[in-house]
A = this chain, B = another copy of it.
Amino acid sequence: MPIIYHDISALQAALQSYRGHQNDSQVGLKRIALVPTMGNLHDGHLELVKIAKQQADIVVVSIFVNPTQFGAGEDFDSYPRTLDEDVEKLATVEADYVFAPSIDEMYPVLPPPTSVLAGAITAQLCGQSRAGHFDGVGIVVSKLFNIVQPDMAVFGQKDYQQLAIIKQLVRDLSYPIEIIGAPIVRAADGLALSSRNQYLNAAERQIAPVLHRELQYMVQKLKSDDQREQDFGSLLAETHQRITEAGFIIDYLEIKTDELEVVANNATASTVEHKNLIVLVAAWLGRARLLDNQLVTVNQSF
């Protein structure tokens, strides 16, 4: 079973023995990986831990439902908290430490006067519909990095914009931490795993995989020879309509470069300059806001 710490100082004391240079002993100089989560773990999270275990000697999983990344009216209060079950699951993938701090431990002053802002990259996609969300991500990830001082950290690609923001944070703030993006883990029917999937009722759960199927269909069209001249704007409009007709309320559906730069709506797969693209969607189904995305490389024949 992983060892659980609720206090920053106790976790740091435990990790201290793995750091640094050691010439003549088994102890010391272990690679430490951090897997930040909000708990309520599913197989997607466990995949992050498995990847961390492959790359590092010691894996710390943080479980903290971070209040500063939830907006007013969002699901902070109802977000599922299942620490005991989470720890059981983490034992199966041999996580070494669980860091599960209280809000007071993480935020002696709440909200903290100091902020870590990612700038222009947040003025789009989830940053547009969830005001302040990425500011909360910025500060909590900075805190976790400073508390754990890991050699690497693993984040899921389902939250693609978050991953891009964290890579930028690490570069801009000179964190000596390798950021590993882990592929989306899906249910058998293609739905991207998410703690928020449990907000879906049975009928909605049947509909939910439409999101992934429609993204796949778009990606096929982007890669197919006979449809490479269709402009992205009309492709997006078609897909938007089909997802809406399935019962979703779309927050955004966009084609961007894989670095989240703007791609013109009148571009086509054959004319677009940047070949590495990503299709991203956020959509409400009942009271669940679902995210999905799909990377695609287009126009490789030229």
Complex: A139 Cα to B113 Cα, angstroms = 15
CB-CB contacts of A138-150 with B at 8 A, as 1s and 0s?
A: 1100110111010
Given the complex, which residues of B lie within 8 Å of A27, measured CB to CB? 21, 23
Given the complex, which residues of B lie within 8 Å of A175, measured CB to CB? 146
Which among A117-125, A181-189, A204-212 touches the partner chain?
Answer: A117-125
A296 to chain B, nearest CB (A): 25
A112: Cβ under 8 A from any B Cβ = yes
Nearest residue (CB) in B for A18 is: B20
List residues of A (231-273) whose CB comes within 8 Å of B's CBs.
Answer: none
List residues of A (165-210) whose CB comes within 8 Å of B's CBs.
Answer: 168-169, 171-176
Partner of A108, one of B25, B113, B171: B171
A22: Cβ under 8 A from any B Cβ = yes
**Residue in A8, A113, A120 with the greatest tally of chain B CB atoms within 10 Å:** A113
A132 to chain B, nearest CB (A): 14
A17: Cβ under 8 A from any B Cβ = yes
CB-CB contacts of A269-292 with B at 8 A, as 1s and 0s?
A: 000000000000000000000000
Complex: A118 Cα to B113 Cα, angstroms = 6
A117 near B114 with CB under 8 A, answer yes
A102: Cβ under 8 A from any B Cβ = no
A176 to chain B, nearest CB (A): 6
A82: Cβ under 8 A from any B Cβ = no
Complex: A53 Cα to B146 Cα, angstroms = 24
Partner of A19, one of B19, B146, B147, B168: B19
Given A114-B173, A116-B116, A173-B146, check contact A21 B19 (CB 8 Å): yes
Complex: A175 Cα to B149 Cα, angstroms = 10
Given the complex, which residues of B lie within 8 Å of A17, measured CB to CB? 20-21
Given the complex, which residues of B lie within 8 Å of A147, measured CB to CB? 174, 176
A220: Cβ under 8 A from any B Cβ = no
Partner of A25, one of B24, B112, B116: B24
List residues of A (66-123) whose CB comes within 8 Å of B's CBs.
Answer: 106, 108-109, 112-121
Complex: A194 Cα to B119 Cα, angstroms = 34
- Would you list 12 pairs from A and B whose C-beta atoms are within 8 A, ordered by A residue? A12-B176, A19-B19, A20-B29, A22-B28, A24-B24, A112-B171, A112-B173, A114-B138, A116-B117, A139-B172, A146-B173, A146-B176
A residues apposed to B, CB below 8 Å: 8, 12, 16-25, 27-29, 106, 108-109, 112-121, 138-139, 142-143, 145-147, 149, 168-169, 171-176
Apart from A114-B116, A115-B119, A146-B176, 11 more pairs, CB < 8 Å: A18-B20, A19-B21, A22-B22, A22-B25, A114-B173, A116-B117, A139-B172, A142-B173, A146-B173, A146-B174, A149-B149
